[in-house]
C-alpha cells in the first residue's frame, strides 16, 4: 500500500496568506498540516508517500529529506483541474490512499480494509458536499452533490487494486483539453461516473478529529479544535 497527497492547488480562498505559504503547510497545532498527515501515514505503515506539487512547489522540497517523500510536479496547476494531478501519479495508483492536502487530521484515522473506501464525515455547513448513497448491500450506489444531510466525502479514499485498475482504464476519457480545463471537474468525477462498476464502501470518522480547511475562518476554527484534541 502507498499514499498520494494532492497538493498542487492555489488555495485562492485564503487570499494573501497562501500567496506566501502553501495551504498544506499552514500550521495546525504547531506543525505544518501536511507533516501531521505524513506522520500518521508513517505510523500506519506507509513507506511510499507521493506528493503532487504545483503552487509554491519549492516549499515542499524539505519533505524529501525529512520523510523520504516522492515529489511530482504538476506544471499545469494553474491551467488544469486536479484530474491532471491524478494523471501525473497514475503509475503509483494501485492499492493506494489518495488524500487531498487540505484534509486536517487530529488523530490517526487510517484503517486496513478489504474494500475500497471513501472516508466520510458529518458536516453542518450549508455548502454542497459529495454524499455517498449506499445500497442494501452496503456498497455505494451513487454520489449526490447537495447540502449535507448525511456524512459526506472527507477528501480521503482508499483504492484496492481491482478498483484502481478500472479507474485507470477510464482515465483517458477525462484527459482531453475540454475535461482538463473544466474547473467543475475533479479527479473524483472519474470513480463517480462509474460507481456501479466499483465495489466501494464508506468509513465514517468523527468531525472532532478530521475535517478540511477550505477558507481562513474554517482554518482558525480547526486550529481551535486542534488545541483541544491534540492535548487529549
CATH of the domain at 40: 3.90.550.10
Structural domain range at position 90: 2-229
What integer pLDDT is reported at residue 18 of this predicted model?
Answer: 83
Q: Are 120 and 205 in contact (CB under 8 A)?
A: yes
What integer pLDDT is reported at residue 148 of this predicted model?
Answer: 81
What integer pLDDT is reported at residue 231 of this predicted model?
Answer: 72
What integer pLDDT is reported at residue 123 of this predicted model?
Answer: 87
Residue ranges, the chain, pLDDT below 70: 126, 232
Distance from C-alpha of 73 to C-alpha of 37, rounded to nearest angstrom: 19
CA distances from 90 to 72, 77, 93, 151, 208 (A): 11, 16, 5, 28, 33
CA distances from 134 to 94, 140, 211, 231 (A): 24, 4, 22, 35
What integer pLDDT is reported at residue 232 of this predicted model?
Answer: 60
CA distances from 202 to 48, 52, 144 (A): 24, 25, 14
Q: Are 50 and 119 in contact (CB under 8 A)?
A: no
pTM: 0.95
Q: How many domains does the chain have?
A: 1
What integer pLDDT is reported at residue 197 of this predicted model?
Answer: 95
Amino acid at each position: 500500500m502507498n499514499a498520494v497527497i494532492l497538493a498542487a492547488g492555489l488555495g485562492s480562498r485564503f487570499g494573501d496568506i497562501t500567496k506566501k505559504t502553501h495551504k498544506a503547510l499552514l500550521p495546525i497545532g504547531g506543525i505544518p498540516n501536511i507533516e501531521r498527515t505524513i506522520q500518521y501515514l508513517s505510523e500506519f505503515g506507509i513507506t511510499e508517500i507521493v506528493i503532487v506539487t504545483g503552487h509554491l512547489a519549492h516549499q515542499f522540497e524539505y519533505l524529501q529529506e525529512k520523510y523520504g517523500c516522492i515529489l511530482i510536479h504538476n506544471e499545469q496547476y494553474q491551467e488544469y483541474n486536479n484530474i491532471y494531478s491524478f494523471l501525473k501519479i497514475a503509475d503509483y495508483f494501485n492499492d493506494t490512499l489518495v488524500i487531498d492536502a487540505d484534509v486536517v487530521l487530529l488523530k490517526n484515522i487510517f484503517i486496513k480494509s478489504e474494500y475500497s473506501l471513501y472516508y466520510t464525515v458529518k458536516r453542518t455547513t450549508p455548502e454542497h458536499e459529495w454524499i455517498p448513497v449506499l445500497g442494501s448491500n452496503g456498497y455505494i450506489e451513487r454520489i449526490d452533490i447537495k447540502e449535507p444531510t448525511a456524512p459526506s466525502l472527507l477528501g480521503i479514499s482508499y483504492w484496492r487494486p481491482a478498483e484502481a485498475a478500472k479507474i485507470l482504464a477510464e482515465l483517458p476519457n477525462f484527459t482531453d483539453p475540454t475535461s482538463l480545463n473544466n474547473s467543475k471537474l475533479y479527479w473524483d468525477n472519474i470513480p463517480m461516473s462509474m460507481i456501479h462498476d466499483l465495489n466501494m464502501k464508506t468509513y465514517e470518522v468523527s468531525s472532532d478529529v478530521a475535517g478540511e480547511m477550505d477558507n481562513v475562518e474554517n482554518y482558525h476554527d480547526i486550529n481551535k479544535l486542534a488545541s483541544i484534541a491534540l492535548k487529549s
